Amino acid sequence: MNTKEKLNLIKRNAAEVLGEEKLESSLKKSQPIVYCGYEPSGDIHIGHYVTILKLKDFEDAGFKVKILLADWHAWLNKKGDWEFINDQVKKWKSVFKKIGLKNPEIITGTSFQKKPDYIEDVFTLAGNSTLNRGIRSMQAVARDIEHAKVTQLIYPFMQVADMKALNVDAVVAGMEQRKIHMIAIESLKDINYEVPSFVHTSLISSLKGPDAGKMSSSDKSSLISIKDSPEEIKKKIVKAYCPEGEPNPVLEITKILIFPTFEKIEISRPKKFGGNITYDNYENLEKDFSNKKLHPMDLKNIVGEKLVEMFKKIK
């Protein structure tokens, strides 16, 4: 791949890219570094799959992938006690290669976040920010922000310090991390580190429809996770909001997860409804759906099947 092809791969399906010039210049390095952090605080679900697939795009474009299992972050964010979090770390470590990453470096936060230089960076960042800024940055990621603990306000400054400690050129995360990343853009200079590029992935809409907002791990009936059986996954997709010819979460899943994983899909249909049809890109599928040439149930059936296949890999 040339540089343009690599950039297009990295940017596909991204909701936002901050620092595209930095991203392009990173591709000229012998092995640039990208990272994504995950709180190991519960079952791996469809939202995690989105960012892991984006990390795979980076890897295919020549980046070294670092994955931070943010155990200390999870504890600070009131996601469980240490026994629970350590157990989750063990479970999470087995997943990434199963999804398709070739050689990710998996790092736990507590392996480096107790070092004096790191703690000094965190204190420097916190000392140059206001209390209100810290609270705002955590609104989309904190548990029970209305009763936030002081530990949760340390979280965003640790996340910024992680970028320096891991020596990253690029960061992958969902859009819910944007406010924390804006702190990074403004304050990394305070700890003498160059601002990386940020690639934000889309958040999948709730399967219940537009009034329910984005898919949330707090709503198990709308979330697809590693614990779901094949029958449960298919049932959730069949029940999903998917009006004929209109934008919907099933189409979002098709674009963001199904095509990047399978590249093409074949939909089985009776001859009286048009017969079997193969799509080798999302655009053609979306066009047929918008023009009501592809029925919602046919779309749901293939998406359910492919999600079962995807999650089967990581069980």
Q: What is the DSSP string of 158-213?
A: HHHHHHHHTT-SEEEEEGGGHHHHHHHHHHGGGGT----EEEEEPPPBPTT-GGG-
Task: Among 201, 232, 259, identify where a domain stops.
Answer: 201
pLDDT digits (tens, 9 = 90+) for 129-177: 877 777 766 665 555 656 667 777 888 899 999 999 999 999 999 998 9
CATH number, domain of 188, equals 3.40.50.620
Which of 201, 232, 260 terminates a domain? The answer is: 201
CA angle 3, 100, 108 (to 5 degrees): 95
Global pTM? 0.91
Q: Are residues 39 and 108 in the same domain?
A: yes
- Choose between 217 and 299: higher pLDDT: 299
The string of pLDDT tens digits covering residues 83-137 is 999 999 998 988 888 888 999 999 999 999 999 999 999 999 988 887 777 776 6
What span, in angstroms and rounded, lies between the C-alpha atoms of 313 and 97? 10
**DSSP string for residues in 260-274:** HHHS-EEE---GGGT
Q: Which of 242, 238, 301, 244 is nearest to 268 (CA)?
A: 301
The model's pLDDT over 217-231, given as tens digits with 9 standing for 90+, comes to 767 777 899 889 999
99 CA to centre of own chain: 13
Whether residues 40 and 103 fall in one domain: yes
Same domain, 186 and 238: no
Residues with Cβ within 8 Å of residue 281, at least 6 apart in sequence:
259, 264
Based on the fold, state whether residues 22 and 118 are members of the same structural domain. yes
Kindly report the CATH number assigned to the domain that includes residue 270: 1.10.240.10
pLDDT digits (tens, 9 = 90+) for 187-208: 999 999 999 999 999 889 899 9
Question: What three-state secondary structure class fits 105?
Answer: strand
The reply to whether 309 and 176 lie within a common domain is no
* Predicted local confidence at residue 209, as pLDDT: 87
- Rounded to 5 degrees, φ, ψ at 266 are -115, 125
How many structural domains does the chain have? 2
* Whether residue 33 sits in one domain with residue 138: yes
State whether 220 and 192 are in the same domain. no
Domain that holds residue 306: 210-314
41-96 tens-digit pLDDT: 888 899 899 999 999 999 999 999 999 999 998 998 888 999 999 999 998 988 88
Select from 147, 174, 201 the last residue of a domain: 201
